[in-house]
């Protein structure tokens, strides 16, 4: 799963999206995005 976590960060950075904007776009909470990026989900 680290590949997904890394890819998520790269794509967000390329688009200059915050965790909140990404979360709203995919329909989850910002906390969920944070957990994925930290490897807790």
Please measure the distance between the N-terminal and C-terminal CA atoms of the chain and give it in whole angstroms: 9
What pLDDT is recorded for position 1? 54
| DSSP E strands, the chain | none
What pLDDT is recorded for position 29? 98
What pLDDT is recorded for position 41? 78
Question: Per-domain residue ranges for the chain?
Answer: 2-38
What pLDDT is recorded for position 2? 78
pTM for the full model?
A: 0.80
- How far is 21 from 16, CA to CA, in rounded Å? 9
Contact predicate 9/36, CB 8 Å: no
pLDDT digits (tens, 9 = 90+) for 1-41: 579 999 999 999 999 999 999 999 999 999 999 999 999 97
């Amino acid at each position: 799963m680290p590949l997904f976590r890394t890819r998520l960060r790269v794509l967000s950075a390329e688009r200059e999206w915050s965790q909140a904007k990404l979360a709203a776009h995919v329909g989850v909470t910002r906390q969920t995005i944070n957990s994925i990026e930290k490897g807790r989900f």
